[in-house]
């Protein structure tokens, strides 16, 4: 059990995103065919203005970790307040059927070929510049934003406190 007083990590603000990536089968250790990985993430932050960069934490034992680590690219699909259902739908293993992941339509990213969900308020395609393997249970991927689109400029992003989800890290 962690010993941080008063669950201070609960007070950090988090949004919700769907991270996506695609890797060729010959590059992966656990699969022989091309693979799309997608999952709900909440630990994303801007880490540079010029060039524009983001840092994202991914659980070490996840498909996303292996696939991003081999592909060296990913997309962050930003969820809006109307996208709450997507949190649970991407909290499980990815299921791809044609141009759908877990039942949601996607397009192939123009710069990274990472899946871009059609139902999101915007996205960022990123090329990995650094991977930081921590002593903790997550890996940090630092990505340079190579393409992006804000589809709904007036839409508000989905924040953790507006949902029943909790991912503060302290029990």
From the number of C-beta atoms within 10 Å of its C-beta (0-12, 13-18, 19+), residue 158 rates as buried
pTM exceeding 0.85: yes
User: Is 80 exceeded by the pLDDT of residue 72?
Assistant: yes
pLDDT value for 32: 64
First to last CA, the chain: 7
Among 35-39, 60-64, 71-75, top mean pLDDT goes to: 71-75
The domains found in the chain, sorted by start residue, are 5-43+61-125+148-153 (2.30.110.10)
pLDDT value for 105: 97
User: Is 50 exceeded by the pLDDT of residue 171?
Assistant: no
Average pLDDT over residues 129-155: 96
């Amino acid at each position: 059990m962690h010993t941080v007083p008063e669950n201070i990590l609960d007070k950090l603000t988090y949004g919700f995103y769907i991270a996506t990536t695609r890797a060729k089968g010959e590059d992966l250790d656990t699969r022989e065919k091309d693979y799309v990985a997608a999952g709900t993430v909440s630990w994303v932050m801007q880490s540079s203005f010029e060039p524009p960069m983001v840092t994202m934490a991914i659980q070490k034992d996840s498909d996303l970790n292996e696939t991003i680590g081999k592909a060296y690219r990913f997309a962050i699909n930003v969820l809006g307040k109307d996208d709450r259902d997507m949190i649970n739908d991407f909290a499980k293993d990815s299921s791809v059927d044609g141009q759908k992941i877990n039942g949601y339509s996607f397009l192939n990213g123009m710069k990274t070929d990472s899946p871009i969900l059609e139902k999101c308020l915007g996205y960022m395609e990123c090329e990995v510049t650094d991977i930081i393997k921590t002593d903790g249970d997550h890996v940090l991927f630092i990505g340079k934003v190579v393409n992006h689109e804000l589809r709904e400029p007036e839409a508000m992003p989905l924040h953790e406190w507006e949902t029943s989800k909790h991912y503060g890290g302290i029990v």
